[in-house]
Structure 1
Amino acid sequence: MEELKMTTYAPDTAATAVVLYAKNNARYDLLNNDFRLVYTYEIKIKVLKSEGTSYADIIIPYYSKERAGGNMKENITQLDASAYNLEDGKIIRTKMKRDLVFEERLNKNYMQIKFSIPAVREGTVFEYKYQLNSDFYYSINHWEAQRSIPVIHTQYDITIPEYFLFNLDMRGSHSLNMKDQSESLSYTLHYQNGQVEQLLCSGRHLSFTGKQLPALRPDKYVWCADDYMSGVGFELRGINFPGSLYKSFTNTWETIDKMLLEDEDFGSLLKMRNPYRDEMAALALDKLTDRQDKIAAIYTFLKKKMSWNGQYRLYGSEVRKAIKNGTGNNADINFVLMSMLHDAQIPCYPAVMSRKTLGILPLSHPSIQKLNTFVVGIADTDSTFVFLDGSVTNGYINTLPPALMVDRARLLSKADGGNWIDLSQLGKNQIRSSIKAQIHPDGRITGTRQTGYTGQHAANFRRNYHTAKDSAEFITKLETEENIKVQTFSTTGVDAFSSIVKESLEFEKQANVNDNLIYINPMIFLHVSKCPFTQAERQLPLEMPYAEQIIQVTNLTIPEGYTVDELPAPLNAFTEDKQGFCRYLVHQNGNQLIITYSFSSNKLIYPISEYKLVKSFWELIAEKNNEILVLKKI
């Protein structure tokens, strides 16, 4: 009754729902004399706001191959769900009927069960439970204690027979209470002749409990919130059955390198024949002396043959179909790219990784399942590499989509094995602007801006330009964002596969005029209009997409008969570790104001403990960007 009367959750009044309890259990069972894992899940949720009703829409995936073959599978049983509402002081239970449960195929390896618990509205308490039976006894599902809504109480119990040895990976910033005890286990073996035998062994019982866990909501400036979610991971270290030799399952990254290089949908494709060998002759690569020019010519040709379908993959199981259709995932395009580079006598290797959006590689527990794509590392010199990927549409060499700019990837080659590389600081990402403008007595500001965009900023410019319906729409959006009127506009490099985009424009802007005073922001084009970090406190680290540099030099001509009332104070601000800085200076030379502005940010991850300092740094920058200068009529 108290749960139904509950209207808000005091520790988090913004919560749309709260987990009252979640109880999970995992145990080993015998079926046909083979071990299997049996998981039971039970969860109870209180809906606090109408938006919280979405948590009653449940999806449960499970392994089930589309084609018959192999005997490893999973299934779901004992599914039950109910909703409870308070009506006229009475508790009304609405039980979910079986016809509200739907099964559908998710992909060739997985099915999923979907259901929506009925009669769920603001104020409802609902619960559901089910059992998942899995033949994958050697792979224990990871347990996540936290969720995107607060959790009042959660518990996970698992009992593991002595034959299976697992490494535990406790993760997250919120501590979980753990108990580790031994207990006696008994299993019954049934033989074809009707005999029955008891199998007695010891077991390890692990119990994990979490209380009053805060919601872990997706946030800006974090790639994958799940990286920071409190929970427990399990990785099989070895199996030791009676009468058998101990078998180690502990992977190393070197063994994973070998597995990939021997896989027919990966390693074999590193030797595939270039499908465009004959057509490549027209590129006349032998006349190009710079290796990056050769790489650019090959990639430009390839993208005319194959377009990216928006998907990232690790394996190239359908690369030949992609070649035929002229479209494929990034892995398909990358395998073809490498075949073309090999023909051009340019050494190249795959650099496998986990995309930032799918989580950090668990370096202490090597796992091939955590790898989900790769980019191409291309030898630029005998000791340096540049990087490219089939998903690059607006970027360039060393200008990958930010989700691929990971700090750890495995560069694979059969000659040297694999080695760790850092792709997080690839290339130079810069905006450099030169502005010349005249202030008129009526407050009009007219002038020109010449801007060069490199790296990620060039890619962003191209993306925005090509997303617009036409150049007119792009200019209209620019006028709105910058509060200007564009008189003329031109670009170079916007359609090219190159490292830079150049933009040139003539503009007009209106300053505020009051009697004999003109109020003007000398930062005609703002870098930052307001601080991007608005939270007083932050639960997750700050993850910046890439390092960058902004440089802006403005020459402003003051109208005749006016004088500067007071020059803005200079700014020379640094982050605590000196990895970020902002400099701002307004200098007067006769009737000329010279404004120099430079900003640099090189650090990509700031821990929670540094959030307030970073926030203060950006607040200072935003304040200076919006500072007003006053011109007085003499």
Structure 2
Amino acid sequence: MEELKMTTYAPDTAATAVVLYAKNNARYDLLNNDFRLVYTYEIKIKVLKSEGTSYADIIIPYYSKEKAGGIMKENITQLDASAYNLEDGKIVRTKMKRDLVFEERLNKNYMQIKFSIPAVREGTVFEYKYQLNSDFYYSINHWEAQKSIPVIHTQYDITIPEYFLFNLDMRGTHSLNMKDQSESLSYTLHYQNGQVEQLLCSGRHLSFTGKQLPALRPDKYVWCADDYMSGVGFELRGINFPGSLYKSFTNTWETIDKMLLEDEDFGSLLKMRNPYRDEMAALALDKLTDRQDKIAAIYTFLKKKMSWNGQYGLYGSEMRKAIKNGTGSNADINFVLMSILRDAQIPCYPAVMSRKTLGILPLSHPSIQKLNTFVVGIADTDSTFVFLDGSVTNGYMNTLPPVLMVDRARLLSKADGGNWIDLSQLGKNQIRSSVNAQIHPDGRITGTRQTGYTGQHAANFRRNYHAAKDSAEFISKLETEENIKVKTFSTTDVNAFSSIVKERLEFEKQANVNDNLIYINPMVFLHVSKCPFTQAERQLPLEMPYAEQIIQVTNLTIPEGYTVDELPAPLNAFTEDKQGFCRYLVHQNGNQLIITYSFSSNKLIYPTSEYKLVKSFWELIAEKNNEMLVLKKI
């Protein structure tokens, strides 16, 4: 009754729902004289706001390989769900019917169960429970203590027979209580001759408890909040059955490499025939001496044949269909790209990874399930690579979508496996601008701006340009953002497969005039107008999308009859680790002012302990960007 009367959760009044309790249990069972893992899950949630009703829409994935036959699998049993509401002072229970439960195939390896618990609204308490039976006795599922909503109480119990040796990996910033004790276990063996034998052994019982855990919500400047979730991971170290030799089961990434290279929907496609071989002569690749020019010609040709459908993938199970339709996932396009590159005698290899939005690849717990896509590493010289991906539409070599710029990928450049590579600092991402302007007595500023955008900034420019219905719409948006009037506008290489885009514009801007004073921002075009970090405290680290550099030189001509009354002070600011800096200098030479602005940020991840320092750094930059120059009439 008290749970149903509950209207808010005091530690987090913004919470739309709260987990009252979550109880999970895992145990080893014997089925057909072979071990299996049996998991039971039970969770009870209180809906505090109407938005919290979405937590009653449940999806449970499980492993069930298509056309598996006798291959190991998982299944869901004993599913039960109910909702409880308070009506006229009485508790009314609504039990979920079986016809509200749906099963569907997720991909070739996974199925999922979906259901929505009925009669859930603001104020409802609902619960559901189920059992997951898994043949994968050597792989214990990771336990996640935190949720995207607060958790009042959570507990996980697991009993592991002495034959299975696991390493534990407790993670997250919120402490969990752990108890570790031994207990006696008994299993029944059934033989074909009808005999029955009791198998007695000791076991390790682990109990993990968490209380008053805060919600782990998605946040700006974090790719995947789950990377920081409190929980426990398990890694099988070995199996030691009586009467047999100890067998190590510690998995390695080299093993995963081998599995991929032997997979018919991955490794086999690394040898596929170039479907456009008959059309390659028109590219005249033999006349191009620079390898990057050859790569650019090949990629430009391919993008005319195949377009990205917006999906990322790892496997290419329907290659003929993708080629015929001229559209496919990044994986489909990448397999074709590699077939063309091989025809051109250009070595290339897949670099498999987990996209940033789906979490960091674990070094200590290798798993093929953690891999979800790949990019193409192309040999530029005997010792260097450039990287491309089928999803690249506005970028270039080494200008991948930031979601693919991971610090942990496996480059499968050897017949038997690969090695770790870091793609987080690919390429040079720069904006370099030159502004020449005249200040007029009536406060008008007229002049030109010439800008070169490189790397990610070139990709961003192209993306924004192509998102507009025409150049007029793009210019109109630019005028609004910069508070200017554009007189003329031109671009270079905005439609090209190139590392740089150039822009030139003539503009007019109005400064503030007050009696004999003109107030003007000497930068004219600001780098940043306000600090992007507004939280007083931060629960999760800051993850920047890429390193970048901004350089702007502004030349201003002071109108005749005016003198400088106030100049912004110079700034030379650094982050504590010197990975970020901002330099602002104003130099006067007669009626000419030269404002030199440089900004650089090279660090991609800042821990929460450094958040306030980073915030202060950006506040200082924003303040300097907004400082005014004052001209006084003589």
Q: Same fold (TM over 0.5)?
A: yes
**Per-residue CA distance 1:570-591 (angstroms, 9 max, x = gap):** 1111000110001112222222
Inter-partner Cα distance in structure 2 for 1:339 and 1:195 = 59
Partners of 2:567 and 2:628 within 8 A in 1: no
**Per-residue CA distance 1:393-440 (angstroms, 9 max, x = gap):** 111011111111111222222368522221111110000111111222
Partners of 2:563 and 2:632 within 8 A in 1: yes
- Give the C-alpha shift of residue 154 in structure 1: 0.5
Inter-partner Cα distance in structure 1 for 2:355 and 2:502 = 30
Instruction: Using the TM superposition, name which of 577-586 and 251-260 deviates more.
Output: 251-260
Inter-partner Cα distance in structure 2 for 1:345 and 1:107 = 34
Secondary structure of 2:72 counterpart: coil
Change (3 A) 1:34 1:280: same
Secondary structure of 2:611 counterpart: helix
- Give the C-alpha shift of residue 331 in structure 1: 1.9
- Give the C-alpha shift of residue 11 in structure 1: 2.0
- Give the C-alpha shift of residue 613 in structure 1: 0.2
- Give the C-alpha shift of residue 521 in structure 1: 1.3
Change (3 A) 1:261 1:61: closer
- 1:178 equivalent in structure 2: 178
- Give the C-alpha shift of residue 355 in structure 1: 1.6
**Per-residue CA distance 1:310-367 (angstroms, 9 max, x = gap):** 2222223333332232222222222222222222222222222222111111112222
Q: Which stretches in structure 2 are left out of the alignment for 5+ residues? A: none
Inter-partner Cα distance in structure 2 for 1:271 and 1:324 = 19
Inter-partner Cα distance in structure 1 for 2:122 and 2:166 = 42
- Give the C-alpha shift of residue 7 in structure 1: 2.6
Instruction: Using the TM superposition, name which of 181-190 and 460-469 deviates more.
Output: 181-190
- 1:91 equivalent in structure 2: 91
Inter-partner Cα distance in structure 2 for 1:252 and 1:127 = 39
Secondary structure of 2:566 counterpart: coil
Partners of 2:257 and 2:416 within 8 A in 1: no
- Give the C-alpha shift of residue 244 in structure 1: 3.7
**Per-residue CA distance 1:137-189 (angstroms, 9 max, x = gap):** 22222110001111111100011222322222211111111112221111223
- Give the C-alpha shift of residue 550 in structure 1: 0.4
**Per-residue CA distance 1:282-310 (angstroms, 9 max, x = gap):** 22222212111111111111111222222
- Give the C-alpha shift of residue 491 in structure 1: 0.7
Inter-partner Cα distance in structure 2 for 1:608 and 1:460 = 28
Change (3 A) 1:177 1:31: same
- Give the C-alpha shift of residue 89 in structure 1: 4.1
Secondary structure of 1:479 counterpart: helix
Inter-partner Cα distance in structure 1 for 2:616 and 2:317 = 50
Change (3 A) 1:138 1:520: same
Change (3 A) 1:253 1:104: closer
Instruction: Using the TM superposition, name which of 401-410 and 265-274 deviates more.
Output: 265-274
Secondary structure of 1:565 counterpart: strand
- Give the C-alpha shift of residue 71 in structure 1: 4.4
Partners of 2:258 and 2:416 within 8 A in 1: no
Secondary structure of 1:113 counterpart: strand
Change (3 A) 1:130 1:299: same
- Give the C-alpha shift of residue 272 in structure 1: 2.5
Inter-partner Cα distance in structure 2 for 1:91 and 1:296 = 68
- 1:31 equivalent in structure 2: 31
Change (3 A) 1:207 1:329: same
Inter-partner Cα distance in structure 2 for 1:116 and 1:268 = 41
- 2:300 equivalent in structure 1: 300
Secondary structure of 2:576 counterpart: coil
Instruction: Using the TM superposition, name which of 594-603 and 30-39 deviates more.
Output: 30-39
Change (3 A) 1:368 1:211: same
Inter-partner Cα distance in structure 2 for 1:156 and 1:258 = 34
Secondary structure of 1:11 counterpart: helix
Q: After TM superposition, what 4+ stretches of structure 1 lie above 6 angstroms from structure 2?
A: none
**Per-residue CA distance 1:223-247 (angstroms, 9 max, x = gap):** 1111110111122333333344433
Inter-partner Cα distance in structure 1 for 2:114 and 2:334 = 36
Secondary structure of 2:334 counterpart: helix
Instruction: Using the TM superposition, name which of 561-570 and 260-269 deviates more.
Output: 260-269
**Per-residue CA distance 1:360-391 (angstroms, 9 max, x = gap):** 11112222222222222222122221111121
Partners of 1:450 and 1:505 within 8 A in 2: yes
**Per-residue CA distance 1:439-468 (angstroms, 9 max, x = gap):** 222222221111100000001111111111
Change (3 A) 1:183 1:274: same
- Give the C-alpha shift of residue 547 in structure 1: 0.3
- Give the C-alpha shift of residue 21 in structure 1: 1.0
Inter-partner Cα distance in structure 2 for 1:516 and 1:256 = 74
- 1:142 equivalent in structure 2: 142
Partners of 1:23 and 1:41 within 8 A in 2: yes
Change (3 A) 1:468 1:12: same
Secondary structure of 2:300 counterpart: helix
Partners of 1:484 and 1:509 within 8 A in 2: yes
Change (3 A) 1:363 1:41: same
- 1:507 equivalent in structure 2: 507
Inter-partner Cα distance in structure 1 for 2:592 and 2:416 = 60
- Give the C-alpha shift of residue 65 in structure 1: 4.1
- 2:596 equivalent in structure 1: 596
Instruction: Using the TM superposition, name which of 501-510 and 117-126 deviates more.
Output: 117-126
**Per-residue CA distance 1:468-513 (angstroms, 9 max, x = gap):** 1111111111111111121111111111001100011111212222
How many aligned positions are there? 634
Q: Which stretches in structure 1 are left out of the alignment for 5+ residues? A: none
Secondary structure of 2:121 counterpart: coil
Instruction: Using the TM superposition, name which of 528-537 and 342-351 deviates more.
Output: 342-351
Change (3 A) 1:73 1:302: same
Inter-partner Cα distance in structure 2 for 1:419 and 1:93 = 56
Inter-partner Cα distance in structure 1 for 2:315 and 2:253 = 18
Partners of 2:96 and 2:118 within 8 A in 1: yes
Instruction: Using the TM superposition, name which of 329-338 and 172-181 deviates more.
Output: 329-338
Secondary structure of 1:530 counterpart: coil
Partners of 1:254 and 1:418 within 8 A in 2: yes
Instruction: Using the TM superposition, name which of 169-178 and 309-318 deviates more.
Output: 309-318
Give the TM-score, by structure 1 length.
0.96
Would you say 1:544 and 2:544 are equivalent positions? yes
Inter-partner Cα distance in structure 2 for 1:172 and 1:326 = 44
Partners of 2:189 and 2:197 within 8 A in 1: yes
**Per-residue CA distance 1:80-135 (angstroms, 9 max, x = gap):** 22233334444333333334333333334333332222333333322222222223
Secondary structure of 1:200 counterpart: strand
Partners of 1:261 and 1:414 within 8 A in 2: no
Instruction: Using the TM superposition, name which of 566-575 and 43-52 deviates more.
Output: 43-52
Change (3 A) 1:417 1:138: closer
- 2:339 equivalent in structure 1: 339
Instruction: Using the TM superposition, name which of 304-313 and 355-364 deviates more.
Output: 304-313
Instruction: Using the TM superposition, name which of 349-358 and 619-628 deviates more.
Output: 349-358
Inter-partner Cα distance in structure 1 for 2:262 and 2:86 = 61
Secondary structure of 1:137 counterpart: coil
**Per-residue CA distance 1:499-542 (angstroms, 9 max, x = gap):** 10001111121222222222211121111111111111111111
**Per-residue CA distance 1:269-291 (angstroms, 9 max, x = gap):** 32322222232122222221211
Partners of 2:22 and 2:43 within 8 A in 1: yes
Instruction: Using the TM superposition, name which of 541-550 and 556-565 deviates more.
Output: 556-565
Change (3 A) 1:71 1:419: closer
- Give the C-alpha shift of residue 199 in structure 1: 2.0
Secondary structure of 1:203 counterpart: strand
Change (3 A) 1:425 1:568: same
Secondary structure of 2:12 counterpart: coil
- Give the C-alpha shift of residue 192 in structure 1: 4.5
- 2:158 equivalent in structure 1: 158
- 1:282 equivalent in structure 2: 282
Secondary structure of 2:206 counterpart: strand
Partners of 1:443 and 1:511 within 8 A in 2: yes
Partners of 2:256 and 2:367 within 8 A in 1: yes
Inter-partner Cα distance in structure 1 for 2:102 and 2:254 = 43
User: How many percent identity over aligned positions?
Assistant: 96
Matches within 5 A, 1:222-261: 222-261=222-261
